[in-house]
Amino acid sequence: MKIKLLTLGTVLLSIISSSSLWAQHADLDNFVKKLDETTSKNAQEKVYLHLDKPYYAIGDDIWFKAYTVNAKTGLPSTISGLLYVELINEKDSITKQLKLPMRSGITWGDFKLTDSLSEGNYRIRAYTQWMRNAGADFYFDKTIKIGNSWANKVFTSSNNVVSTDNNLQKVTTTIKFTDKQNIPYASSQVTYEVKLNNKTVERGKGQTNAQGEIIIETVNKQPEALKSGHIVANITLPNKQVISKDIPLKTTSKNIDVQFFPEGGKLVENLPNKIGLKAINSNGLGELVSGVIINNEGTEISKFETNKLGMGSFFLNPIAEQIYKANLVFADGSKKTVNLPTADKSGRVLSVSNIDSAKMSIKVYLSEDLLNKEEYNLIAQHNGIVYFSTKVASSKQVVALTVPKDSLPSGIIQISLLSANFSPLNERVVFVNNLQDKIDIKPENLKPSYGKRAKMDLSLATTNSNKPVQGSFSVAVTNSSTVKPDLENETNILTKLLLTSDLAGYVEKPNYYFLNNDRNSRYDLDNLLLTQGWRKVDWKQVADGAEPVAKFPVEKKLQISGLVTKGGKPVVKGKVSLVSFSGGFFMTDTLTDDKGRFNFDKIEFLDSTKFIVQARTDKDRKFVEIVMDAVPGQVINRNPNTGDIEVNVNQSLAAYLQESSKYFDDQTKRGLLNRTILLDEVNIVEKRKPSYESSNIGGAGNADAVFTAKDLETAFSLSQYLQGRIAGVQIVNGQAFARGNQSPMAIMVDGMNIGGEDFNLDDIVVQDIQTVEILKSGATTAIYGMQGGAGVIVITTKRGEGVRSVNPYTPGLINYVPKGYAVVREFYSPKYDVKPDSRPDLRTTVFWEPQMVSDVNGKAKISYFNTDVPGTYRIVVEGIDVHGNLARKVITYEVK
């Protein structure tokens, strides 16, 4: 396809798209080939999660479907086979993590929001191990509000006022504590800790007033650096119960950060320059700013004004020896003057006009002193695929060209001006929204309105360029009178996979740019890309032909692997056995390679499955050391979505919480939902025997003798310690025999039977033991059946950070609990035509289907029942086909 170029009285170029590059430019052709090879070897992934709702309540389920695509090709990803999905709380701690298998880049799952969680601004983060090489900026990371009314005793509302006192900024926070009926907790003791950027700046205590309020004053000595934080407030209720609340602090500084971004990277004297500007407050949200540009003499050169998202642009032709300043006026009337970036005396300017819906215009400007000096390279690429490239001569000061947008894919296109030796000089990113790579979805039998509990049998037609599409789709149905969408701030499959997944940093209201494909939206989107960081190509690596280095390898499937050594040297051809009793008996074995490594990679198992890994040398010697492979966990970065944080979550979701509480109460009465009952504090008149960790399936303490880690502190070995301490049990050669039995007692370590004639108590490191329970009477061993015929010794090891750990208690034998696949539940949808139910139907998610597949004719069907709640029902369908074409359709109907 030809891409025509405008002359504009300068130089006429005619270039050809990437399908037929200029043959005579061998160096450019070779560089483009290197770019393709480098980005193919290091092709990254993008992931998007379609959630059933924009916000939730404690007691809800979060249902999601994940779409992972190859960042280079846009096709469903076949790079990784495993996806990690995490629910992260306001304290930047992982509350739940799921590991899910992917097929052709697709998987789905859910989180249960139990009442052990509190309300707040949570994050859902998703990534593959391979994505970790590109960094957390490009993960799926979305902030969602989770309210709590059904299982909540204390409700808070707060507001912040920032003032200046002796040139220091003071933050005054008023927190109000009430119960579920909005009755204030008056005269209650409160202790608090104020943290800004996780740095404690204030601690104190006080008492609420008659309105249930307490006022906390904090001096922010570093307003430029400490822009957000939270208050941990602990209130003592009348029944002496202490409830902890985490209060977000967003407004901690009055400072507004204003930055200027020359198009292409640099200002150059005597050349027309477009300059983008962005004004951001301490909450991370855009601010309305207007102003003028003045020169040395104070003469007004240009005017500018940002949009509601704090972004704008203007043109400037810098004159030599002039210093330019911007006189800013903020929404509150305050003023500020800042210097513009200094213009270079010589250089190049890369300018792009992308407002037209059908084409973009590109211009390259050169300083006079650079004329006839060298030939430049102009490349436009999308994640490593070059869509056009050409040589740019330096015989004229301006080179201009136009590019039809229908020759480009949807998404971010990076345009780069490179030197003759392919060093980057100027770069610019633009966005293309090409309708040809979208899937159209049309309902075929939808009526304008339906009744309560009406059965919805819907047929959908999916097409691309009027041809049927076979694709994978997800469908969420909600009642918008209960679940109100925030249209501009929605994250959807288009905003994520086409826009924000290639950008670094927070993007405010991403769907604003997709609601209307008009001139204003394109202008605002272009200003966003003028002022936002993006996923960049390492041009030096491409030019050098260097192999990309990946710290985190691709993870295709579950595996259990490690290293076997003896005396510090690898054990070659050693036998390694993998055993599990979880959900039945499983056993397999393999041999180590010439480096002492082993790998079980043809297994699948669920989360919390326990394994025993046993290794021996080729001569059947078992005193070897096993080191399991472990991928370091992903660091939890601070919430990047500062603008989406809601200070008063419960207040903002009041209407939804009221409706959801009715539903949860009904589910509790039916026995379909369980609540953790928090007992009020009572006086204890008799102390209960302290509990301890135990893997005894008969229950902790249901034993004839118990020894704890404290008892074993001075023990040299377990057999030495137990000898003579248990009536009717003798220790012989490291094995325990109950009186009257010829066979040794069974040894259960963390619930697994590893004992018998081949096991020696002295193989266990005493310091790794939490408890030892001796079971020798019929009453205690009966639960173990035949395994307990000769008696049982139940050993529970210290688990350190939790059950997902390696417990090395003896050479050649370890207990291992790796992260397995999460159990995926099925969304419950009532069938009133089969099983009528007179009780109220108050579901907030009406229907969820993670895997709706269209057939060869592009047809797909869904079936469900409406609830008892009238309103405007909203069907959101998203999906992808094998060619990487994306789909998003919102359909509405009324329920009366």
pLDDT tens sequence across 297-350: 999 999 999 999 999 999 999 999 899 999 999 998 999 999 999 999 999 999
Residue 892's closest CA among 478, 323, 520, 510?
A: 478
Give just the sign of the alpha carbon dihedral 483, 485, 489, 491. positive
Please calculate the CA angle 717-719-724 and round it to the nearest 5 degrees.
Answer: 125
CB 499 within 8 A of CB 431: yes
Q: What gap in Å lies between CA 510 and CA 356, rounded to an integer?
A: 20
CB 424 within 8 A of CB 520: no
Looking at residue 800, what is its pLDDT?
A: 37
Q: What gap in Å lies between CA 687 and CA 622, rounded to an integer?
A: 46
Strands (E), 139-253: 140-147, 155-165, 168-178, 189-196, 199-207, 213-220, 229-236, 242-249
Phi, psi torsion values for 830, nearest 5 degrees = -65, 155
Q: Provide the pairing of β-strand 438-443 with 886-895.
A: parallel
| Distance of alpha carbon 772 from the chain centroid | 41
Phi, psi torsion values for 110, nearest 5 degrees = -160, 160
CB 348 within 8 A of CB 272: no
Q: Which residues contact 123 (CB under 8 A, 6 or more apart)?
A: 86, 87, 88, 141, 142, 143, 144, 639, 641
User: What's the chain's length in residues?
Assistant: 896
Continuous segment of H or E residues that includes residue 154: none
Q: Which residues contact 675 (CB under 8 A, 6 or more apart)?
A: 115, 150, 151, 668
* Cβ atoms within 10 Å, residue 475: 25
Q: Provide the pairing of β-strand 806-810 with 792-797.
A: unpaired
SS3 303: strand
SS3 504: strand
Task: State the residue for tokens 């003592």.
Answer: 236
Q: What gap in Å lies between CA 315 and CA 805, rounded to an integer?
A: 59
Task: State the residue for tokens 């939490």.
Answer: 770
SS3 800: coil
Which residues does the chain have with pLDDT short of 50?
A: 1-24, 677-690, 800-805
Task: State the residue for tokens 């500062």.
Answer: 642
CB 443 within 8 A of CB 891: yes
Q: What gap in Å lies between CA 644 and CA 624, rounded to an integer?
A: 53
Question: Which residues face 806 on adjacent strands?
Answer: 816
Q: Which two tokens stand for residue 188?
A: 């209650």
Q: What gap in Å lies between CA 270 and CA 27, rounded to an integer?
A: 32
Question: Which residues face 67 on adjacent strands?
Answer: 48, 106
Q: Which residues contact 160 (CB under 8 A, 6 or more apart)?
A: 171, 172, 173, 249, 250, 251, 252, 647
Q: What gap in Å lies between CA 550 and CA 545, rounded to an integer?
A: 15
Q: Provide the pairing of β-strand 424-432 with 471-479.
A: unpaired
| C-alpha count within 13 angstroms, C-beta hemisphere, residue 81 | 8
Looking at residue 23, what is its pLDDT?
A: 35
CB 257 within 8 A of CB 280: yes
| Phi-psi map region of 105: left, alpha, beta (phi>0 left; psi -120 to 50 alpha) | left
In Å, how far are 190, 191, 257 from 219, measured between CA atoms?
A: 20, 18, 20
The type of residue at 343 is A
| Distance of alpha carbon 689 from the chain centroid | 43
Q: What gap in Å lies between CA 494 and CA 29, rounded to an integer?
A: 32
Q: Which two tokens stand for residue 585?
A: 């008996």
Q: Which two tokens stand for residue 653?
A: 């979701």
Q: What gap in Å lies between CA 613 and CA 595, rounded to an integer?
A: 18
Residue 428's closest CA among 521, 525, 350?
A: 350
Give the strands of the sheet with 189-196, arranged side by side. Answer: 199-207, 189-196, 229-236, 242-249
| C-alpha count within 13 angstroms, C-beta hemisphere, residue 41 | 13
In three-state form (DSSP H/G/I as H, E/B as E, the rest C), the secondary structure along 546-605 is CCCCCCCCCCCCCCEEEEEEECCEECCCCEEEEEECCCCCEEEEEECCCCCEEEECCCCC
What CA dihedral angle connects 140, 141, 145 and 150, to 10 degrees? 70
Q: What gap in Å lies between CA 36 and CA 424, rounded to an integer?
A: 17
Task: State the residue for tokens 């006429």.
Answer: 12
Q: What gap in Å lies between CA 342 and CA 324, rounded to an integer?
A: 8
Q: What gap in Å lies between CA 250 and CA 645, rounded to an integer?
A: 8
* Cβ atoms within 10 Å, residue 678: 10
Direct distance between the N- and C-terminal alpha carbons of the chain, in angstroms, rounded to an integer:
53
Task: State the residue for tokens 């940093």.
Answer: 505
| Distance of alpha carbon 429 from the chain centroid | 25
Q: What gap in Å lies between CA 56 and CA 112, rounded to an integer?
A: 11
In Å, how far are 281, 309, 328, 330, 643 from 287, measured between CA atoms?
A: 6, 6, 12, 8, 12
Q: What gap in Å lies between CA 710 and CA 772, rounded to an integer?
A: 11
CB 232 within 8 A of CB 193: yes
Q: What gap in Å lies between CA 722 and CA 791, rounded to an integer?
A: 15
Question: Which residues face 249 on adjacent strands?
Answer: 229
Looking at residue 677, what is its pLDDT?
A: 43
| Phi-psi map region of 818: left, alpha, beta (phi>0 left; psi -120 to 50 alpha) | beta
pTM strictly above 0.75: yes
Q: Provide the pairing of β-strand 769-775 with 120-127.
A: unpaired
